[in-house]
Amino acid sequence: MSRYINVAIGQLGPVNREDSRPLVINRMMKMMREAKALAADIIIYPELALTTFFPRWYMEKEEEIDQWFEKDMPGKETNPLFSLAKELKIGFYLGYAEKEIKNGVAHYYNSAVLVDKNADIIGKYRKVHLPGHSEHEPWRRFQHLEKRYFEPGDRFPVWSAFNGVMGMALCNDRRWPETYRVMGLQGAEMIFIGYNTPVHNAPAPQHDDLSLFHNTLSLQAGAYHNGCWVVGVAKAGCEEGIEQIGGSCIVAPSGEVVAACITKGDEVVVAHCDLDFCQIYKRTTFNFDLHRQPHAYKEITQYKGETLNADGSLRS
Amino acid sequence: MSRYINVAIGQLGPVNREDSRPLVINRMMKMMREAKALAADIIIYPELALTTFFPRWYMEKEEEIDQWFEKDMPGKETNPLFSLAKELKIGFYLGYAEKEIKNGVAHYYNSAVLVDKNADIIGKYRKVHLPGHSEHEPWRRFQHLEKRYFEPGDRFPVWSAFNGVMGMALCNDRRWPETYRVMGLQGAEMIFIGYNTPVHNAPAPQHDDLSLFHNTLSLQAGAYHNGCWVVGVAKAGCEEGIEQIGGSCIVAPSGEVVAACITKGDEVVVAHCDLDFCQIYKRTTFNFDLHRQPHAYKEITQYKGETLNADGSLRS
């Protein structure tokens, strides 16, 4: 038995600070047409796809911050992307900065939407694992202020869509095994993950040469350990002087990379993915019902950080 | 700052069904001397190191089963290993089948002990994730009856020892991110994992060629995602006609393999491991206190298996 979804990576090259949304959306529409010509059912764009990666700058003024956020999705500028998707009958995943007014209070999230072939938004995900810091740290070559500009999301839902069970995550989420497991426990068969990852990590620069390895390792482990497909899509290349890793790829439930980008620019790569292939793992090695032992995992939800000091004594 | 432990892999080649414990222990003592000559502080032996991997046979009679288990640790036959360790001032990790009588009832575990340089047992671990099946399945080329012969353990403790925080796991545990995370949350700096893994997996034979890849992937991801060292040690080679994967290695907190066996036989490989190296990861990308979001993980301890059906409806 086979149940296919043809997935396109829609890797973006750099988006500069002065680039307008229509300029970027034109690039994305070009890639959407290319994906459709390659028989794709869905195209996956990166995290914060519509603008440059703005958390690398410290900003204080609300109007300066607000310019990077979408108040509506779709909005005036993103509408053409939705219209084209509807015309072409292709779905998409889009990462963007979301501003929501709720009970008169503004909330800011690092979000992604899952859009079906009728251009209807069928799912929204808000990034749970915000990396970086919240205050200006001038010693860094560039900032990573996600904890300043966004509130964290609080769950990892899955959606029945595209003939299977789909999940979403964003960037740093992919380094946390909990991300995949929470969705795996809900039967996720494919997880889409857009990201922006600089080669240089200011707090641990001694491992800049491993950034790409850590990306692939995390995507592969998440896929294998949950018997699901994982699609990682980068905003890549040198953006505003900062090198980003690229490395977009599609990982099978076996942990094998089955498709990968080879540039740091706008690039479309498609894979023909059998969702039934998940069962080889979900029914055997990773049959959760047979093999998981949640009574031994209580620390995972009970504690946020380390429970012991280095000398073995229990933290107060 | 540096805080070193010199760790020796004590990979074993095949142990046949008729091999006596003294025969195997002699091989292990030879490797212990070799490890000591290479300046090792500790040598790590595989899972069920003292005998052949007996769960590959179906047995019904208690006395037939009992022959594979140790009633005492150390016992008459394992004493020489402890004596040599004390003489050489070297610690060890030893996987073995444990029979414990408690309140007049016999309990059977797949266990490992951590032994210090005075040959004192300072920690015992009982395998949590038992793979395989509990009933005879004659369609298999060989059985994997761990669920028949053992009760599962129920926790992943850590120990302050060898100048750091040490954890233990066994074989199938290494495929479950929860294993590493529970110990990571207790500050584990190094995790020892003995294993017996056949190349052939009867329920999913289409992936036999990936067995070694899945081993390395799991060890690397567990190390990187928790900023700790991971030492995986195999019983390798063709044992009673069954090929086992080997692939013993030492993985740094960066996820890099820093030492690896290159044979499928008895082999000692040593690495000079800086436990302070963990901090590069534990204080940055994997600073749990800063970045984990346990409120979003509740499914991990709440559910054993999948919570949703493939159509997205909640499982009853």
**pLDDT digits over B27-62, tens only?**
999 999 999 999 999 999 999 999 999 999 999 999
pLDDT surpassing 70 at residue B127: yes
For chain B, the average pLDDT equals 96
Handedness of CA A199, A203, A205, A211 (dihedral sign): negative
For chain A, the average pLDDT equals 96
ipTM value: 0.96
pLDDT of residue B107: 98
The mean per-residue pLDDT over the stretch B86-96 comes to 98
pLDDT surpassing 50 at residue B92: yes
The mean per-residue pLDDT over the stretch B252-278 comes to 98
Nearest CB among A178, A289, A291 relative to B300 is that of A178
pLDDT surpassing 60 at residue A313: no
The mean per-residue pLDDT over the stretch A139-150 comes to 98
- Interface contact B295-A165, CB threshold 8 A: no
pLDDT surpassing 80 at residue B293: yes
Locate all alpha helices (DSSP H) within chain B, ordered by sequence.
21-37, 62-66, 79-88, 146-149, 177-184, 211-226, 278-282, 288-291, 298-302
Nearest CB among B289, B299, B308 relative to A304 is that of B289
List pLDDT tens digits, range A20-45. Answer: 999 999 999 999 999 999 999 999 99
Report in angstroms the alpha-carbon separations of B197 from A290, A295, B111, B242. Answer: 19, 25, 16, 10
How confident is residue A99, by pLDDT bands cut at 50, 70 and 90?
very high
Please provide the distance, in angstroms rounded to a whole number, between the alpha carbons at the two ends of chain B. Answer: 54
> Tokens representing A80?
């053409």
> Tokens representing B45?
């032996």
> Tokens representing B48?
């069920």
The mean per-residue pLDDT over the stretch B177-203 comes to 97
pLDDT surpassing 70 at residue A314: no
Report in angstroms the alpha-carbon separations of A90 from A48, A86, A116, A204, B148. Answer: 20, 7, 7, 40, 50
Report in angstroms the alpha-carbon separations of A269 from A12, A31, A258. Answer: 12, 10, 10
**Catalytic residue ranges of A:** 47, 127, 171
pLDDT of residue A316: 47
Residues of chain A found within 8 Å of residue B299, distances taken between Cβ atoms: 181-182, 185-186
How confident is residue A311, by pLDDT bands cut at 50, 70 and 90?
low
> Tokens representing B260?
């690896």
- Interface contact A178-B213, CB threshold 8 A: no
Smallest Cα distance from A306 to chain B, Å: 4
- Interface contact A296-B154, CB threshold 8 A: yes
- Interface contact B299-A207, CB threshold 8 A: no
CATH level 3 topology of A4-283: Nitrilase/N-carbamoyl-D-aminoacid amidohydrolase (3.60.110)
List pLDDT tens digits, range A219-275. Answer: 999 999 999 999 999 999 999 999 999 999 999 999 999 999 999 999 999 999 999
Nearest CB among B158, B210, B286 relative to A308 is that of B158
Residues of chain A found within 8 Å of residue B210, distances taken between Cβ atoms: 254-256
Residues of chain A found within 8 Å of residue B185, distances taken between Cβ atoms: 299-300, 303, 305-307
**Catalytic residue ranges of B:** 47, 127, 171
pLDDT of residue B308: 58
pLDDT of residue B313: 55
pLDDT of residue B315: 59
Q: Count interface pairs A-B at CB distance under 8 A.
A: 235
List pLDDT tens digits, range A109-136. Answer: 999 999 999 999 999 999 999 999 999 9
List pLDDT tens digits, range B220-233. Answer: 999 999 999 999 99
pLDDT of residue B307: 65
pLDDT of residue B2: 87
Substitution target in B134, B163, B285 with the highest count of A β-carbons within 10 Å is B285
pLDDT surpassing 60 at residue B312: no
Residue pair B262/B272 in contact by the 8 Å Cβ criterion: no
Q: In terms of pTM, does the model score above 0.80?
A: yes
- Interface contact A217-B131, CB threshold 8 A: no
Q: Where do the domains of chain B lie?
A: 4-283
Nearest CB among A164, A177, A306 relative to B185 is that of A306
pLDDT surpassing 90 at residue A308: no
